[in-house]
Structure 1
Amino acid sequence: MAYDPHLADELEAAFAARPDVERKAMFGGYCWMLNGNMLCGVEVGRFMFRVGKDLQAEALERPGAELVNFNGRKMGGIIWVEEHAAREAGLENWIAMAERFVGSLPPK
């Protein structure tokens, strides 16, 4: 998966003061991990957020959001968000939604 370094820089800045979040190379790009669990990532022109299946419907109602589909396989609870829509809604709001789910998972 190709990624956009500018979007990666935005997420890196969002987590700069968070020692519990670390960047990890995955899928040919980068993901950010909260306590060892995937929280979010970037691709060219869009962000990825792991919101879980319980928050999936709420996330998909937001502008620019769609379910992640890797090689024809839908990834329940993981959402792509077009970069401009994510910024308009507030990147911190998307991060908070993902953290509601990922923060409930046991650390790895």
Structure 2
Amino acid sequence: MAYDEVLARRIRELLADRPGTTERAMFGGLGFMVDGHLAVAAGSRGALMVRADGTDGAHPLLAPMEMRGRTMSGWYETAADAELTDEDLAELVEMGLRRVATLPPKG
């Protein structure tokens, strides 16, 4: 399954004015990177993937992300069928941005 094009467009609109933002196709999804660090992605299963710390990961729309049966530390995702309001999406994208802001820029 390909990523959700509508979700990708909505993320792109939120990040349009953010310096250092790039997009990269990965694992069947579309990742949004800031200064070389993946912050959020429109996942291949239709979910929004968010990079977050444990405190932010407790958000009610998020669950720990699993890939090939393993929980991915520091990554969370919404249900594939979650209906994200504009406010929900903005909050979750901001969560990913906060997390990558703590990381050194990649060259």
Provide the secondary structure at the position in 1 that maps to 2:41. strand
| C-alpha distance after superposition, 1:64-85 (max 9, x if no partner) | 311110010110110102342x
Using the aligned pairs only, state the percent identity: 31
Q: How many residues align?
A: 103
CA–CA separation in structure 2 for the residues paired with 1:12 and 1:40: 11
Unaligned runs of 5+ in 1: none
1:56 to 43, 48, 54: 54
Say whether the 8 Å CA contact 1:56–1:78 is kept in structure 2: no
TM-score, structure 2 normalization = 0.83
- RMSD between aligned alpha carbons? 1.8
TM-score, structure 1 normalization = 0.83
Distance 1:76 1:11, change over 3 A: same
Unaligned runs of 5+ in 2: none
> More helix per residue: 1 or 2?
1
Cα distance, 1:95 vs. partner?
Answer: 1.6
Provide the secondary structure at the position in 1 that maps to 2:98. helix
Q: In the alignment, is residue 75 of structure 1 matched against residue 72 of structure 2?
A: yes
Q: In the alignment, is residue 66 of structure 1 matched against residue 70 of structure 2?
A: no
Say whether the 8 Å CA contact 1:34–1:102 is kept in structure 2: yes
CA–CA separation in structure 2 for the residues paired with 1:95 and 1:58: 11
Distance 1:58 1:15, change over 3 A: closer
